[in-house]
């Protein structure tokens, strides 16, 4: 990070936290996520999961919230052609209390008393009584007042920039009290400090005296290193969001005198900034970054979380950051604004799948067979090499599962299923193998049966009650291109390369039921089931389905990407209430 400081500023020390998470859980997470890396990275401290910045809620509004205001646990948001009031008091269960539609494209919202002032580009200013947030009502309009892209309230007056003019609107008088020429740029933004108005036009920042709104006297000017995309101020401190040029911190005195404090290059395109000393919250194009500014001369990035969509506005309230994205509102717990540290890694061949047993991890490494690694020290995993018992026997290992003291390996061709004994976890011993038709891509194991999903082979069910002599018990969906399997109580959900998702009753694995097509899950890539909830990955979205009636999945909610960033998801994982994509 590049920092140029003009003066040091005193900040409060950042929080510290201790760990009591077990090494075993850390080992599992480390092995699944980062084991095969070119370099080993150690962490000096381990924190519990709750001590990391994490998403805790997401609300889909149907339209993009471009601007928001916040008061008393409610967010007032303007979307493309509407106005929403959202209850955010429970960030994990945000609720839209009411919605209104307008004919013109809405641009900004400001709150004055019990009224929301909503500007549209084409239909003018709408003044809405929000005394009852469930039943807002328009009380008056000014159809000729329109076009501003940024606004702020200072001492009851709404200041805005419109078509090359800086304007002040008095809500009590219901009229514009001043309109004066101001440079127009591609990024006009407005912010306020007590008695001071800050207005940008591309790189130019001007400071104005608001003691007399009708005069709106200019006090000073500042030239930023790049176009100003956001202005945030508190006290005499001002932070300018300057896109790829990072952040500029200023001190703006009561008389308008400007002193540059620091410039911070965070390596992200900065859209918006909020400060809660000693923390700086930085909204990028599709991310939220936390920066420790205890020492302005040496700001330190502590955490970063992907918002999974283009982001527009940032609001930090107590220990929660609310981010508006192209799809709605995202809530992020920033009680501890840290990012989960990388524990460790080691070099090795690319892994297709991983299974963990005690202090060991087993990797399906395609043409390299199955590799074993010791993960007793999560910060220093050690590769023990390939499983010798499988050398020369298997090709293209695609999936591994551990049940009890048995390791099950699915192989593309030849001996499609191998069963190994783990009495000595570092040196598994082969007990038996079986061959089935097709190229096996996925494996599930329950009780004394293994389920193999095979391309051009269908779903094979293998009896492994005698691990030394596994045998094919039954086959369904023969010749289907089965890619992924998921066990859901007495059923198997099988996704295929043709786009069809099948449901098979395997309450009696020796005589499975007739496969049924799940039309609601057509074109699913794969499914993970936890209880009665199915997490279903499609190309471009992840859907949450109610599987109470497993033959009739019901979509409850979904998350989608505005581009192709979800098109190649290799897998997801669910831990407690979090889905990792």
146 vs 552, residue with greater confidence: 552
The span from the CA of 217 to the CA of 9, in Å, is 30
Give helix then strand counts, H and E, for the chain: 1, 51
Residue 342 pLDDT: 65
Report the pLDDT averaged over residues 232-236.
92
Residues whose CB is less than 8 angstroms from the CB of residue 173 and which lie 6 or more positions away in sequence, other chains included:
none
The span from the CA of 515 to the CA of 503, in Å, is 6
The span from the CA of 208 to the CA of 577, in Å, is 49
The span from the CA of 201 to the CA of 144, in Å, is 24
Does the predicted model carry a pTM greater than 0.85?
Answer: no
Q: Order of strands across the sheet with 165-170?
A: 150-154, 157-162, 165-170, 175-181
Task: Provide the mean pLDDT of the chain.
Answer: 84
CATH code at 351-485: 2.130.10.10
Does position 43 have pLDDT exceeding 70, yes or no? no
Does position 7 have pLDDT exceeding 90, yes or no? no
Split at pLDDT 50, 70, 90, the class of 222 is very high
Of the candidates 227, 157, 222, the residue with the CA atom closest to the CA atom of residue 192: 157
Cα–Cα distances (Å) from 230 to 7, 23, 221, 269, 578, in that order, read 23, 43, 16, 12, 32
The span from the CA of 381 to the CA of 41, in Å, is 11
Residue 281 pLDDT: 95
Span 258-285, pLDDT tens digits? 999 999 988 888 999 999 989 999 999 8
**pLDDT over 90, % of the chain:** 51
Residue 393 pLDDT: 63
Angle at 69 between CA 141 and CA 15, to 5 degrees: 175
The span from the CA of 373 to the CA of 356, in Å, is 10
The count of residues in the chain is 581
Does position 9 have pLDDT exceeding 50, yes or no? no
Split at pLDDT 50, 70, 90, the class of 194 is very high
Residue 98 pLDDT: 96
Residue 146 pLDDT: 64
Residue 282 pLDDT: 95
**pLDDT over 70, % of the chain:** 85
Does position 248 have pLDDT exceeding 80, yes or no? yes
Span 87-141, pLDDT tens digits? 999 998 999 999 999 877 888 899 999 999 998 887 888 999 999 999 999 999 8
Cα–Cα distances (Å) from 405 to 96, 160, 401, 402, 431, in that order, read 51, 69, 11, 7, 12
Span 135-181, pLDDT tens digits? 999 999 888 776 666 889 999 999 988 778 888 999 988 888 988 88
Domain boundaries, the chain: 351-485
Q: Within 10 Å of residue 66's Cβ, how many Cβ atoms? A: 19
Split at pLDDT 50, 70, 90, the class of 202 is very high
Split at pLDDT 50, 70, 90, the class of 562 is very low
């Amino acid at each position: 990070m590049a920092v140029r400081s003009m003066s040091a500023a005193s900040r409060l020390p950042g929080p510290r936290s201790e760990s009591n998470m077990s090494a075993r859980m850390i080992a599992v997470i480390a092995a699944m996520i980062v084991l095969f890396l070119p370099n080993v990275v150690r962490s000096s401290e381990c924190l519990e999961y709750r001590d990391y910045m994490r998403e805790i809620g997401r609300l889909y509004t149907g339209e993009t919230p471009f601007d928001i205001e916040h008061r008393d646990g409610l967010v007032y948001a303007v979307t493309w052609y509407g106005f929403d009031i959202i209850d955010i008091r429970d960030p994990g269960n945000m609720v839209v209390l009411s919605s209104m539609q307008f004919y013109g494209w809405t641009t900004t919202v400001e709150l004055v008393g019990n009224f929301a002032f909503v500007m549209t580009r084409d239909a003018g200013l709408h003044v809405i009584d929000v005394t009852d947030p469930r039943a807002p009502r328009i009380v008056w309009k000014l159809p000729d007042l329109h076009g501003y892209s940024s606004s702020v309230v200072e001492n009851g007056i709404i200041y805005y920039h419109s078509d090359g003019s800086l304007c002040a609107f008095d809500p009590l008088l219901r009229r514009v009290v001043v309109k004066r020429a101001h440079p127009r740029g591609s990024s006009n933004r407005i912010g306020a400090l007590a008695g001071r108005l800050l207005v940008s036009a591309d790189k130019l920042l001007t400071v104005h005296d608001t003691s007399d709104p009708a005069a709106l006297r200019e006090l000073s000017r500042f030239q930023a290193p790049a176009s100003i995309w956001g202005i945030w101020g508190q006290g005499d401190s001002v932070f300018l969001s300057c896109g790829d040029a990072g952040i500029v911190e200023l001190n703006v005195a009561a008389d308008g005198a400007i002193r540059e404090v620091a410039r911070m290059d965070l390596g992200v395109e900065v859209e918006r900034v909020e400060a809660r000393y000693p923390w700086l919250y930085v909204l990028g194009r599709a991310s939220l970054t936390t920066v420790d500014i205890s020492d302005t001369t040496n700001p330190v990035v502590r955490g970063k979380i992907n918002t999974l969509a283009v982001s527009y506005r940032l609001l930090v309230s107590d220990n929660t950051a609310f981010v508006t994205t192209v799809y709605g509102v995202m809530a992020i717990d920033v009680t501890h604004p840290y990012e989960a540290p990388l524990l460790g890694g080691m070099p090795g061949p690319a892994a297709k799948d991983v299974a963990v047993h005690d202090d060991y991890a087993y990797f399906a490494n395609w043409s390299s067979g199955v590799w074993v690694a010791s993960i007793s020290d999560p910060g220093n995993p050690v590769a023990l090499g390939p499983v010798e018992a499988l050398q020369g026997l298997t090709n293209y290992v695609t999936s591994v599962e551990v049940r009890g003291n048995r390791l099950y390996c699915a192989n593309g061709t030849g001996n499609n299923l191998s069963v190994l004994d783990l009495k000595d976890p570092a040196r598994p011993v082969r007990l038996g193998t079986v061959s089935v038709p097709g190229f096996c891509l996925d494996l599930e194991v329950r009780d004394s049966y293994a389920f193999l999903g095979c391309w051009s082979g269908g779903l094979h069910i293998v009896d492994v009650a005698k691990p030394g002599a596994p045998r094919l018990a039954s086959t369904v969906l023969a010749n289907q291109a089965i890619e992924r399997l998921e066990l859901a109580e007495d059923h198997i959900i099988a996704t295929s390369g043709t786009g069809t998702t099948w449901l098979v009753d395997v309450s009696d694995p020796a005589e499975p039921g007739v496969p049924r097509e799940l039309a609601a899950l057509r074109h699913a890539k794969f499914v993970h089931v936890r209880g009665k909830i199915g997490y279903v990955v499609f190309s471009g979205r992840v859907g949450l389905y109610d599987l109470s009636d497993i033959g009739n999945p019901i979509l409850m909610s979904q998350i989608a990407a505005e581009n192709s960033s979800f098109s190649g998801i290799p897998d997801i994982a669910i831990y407690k209430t979090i889905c990792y994509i």
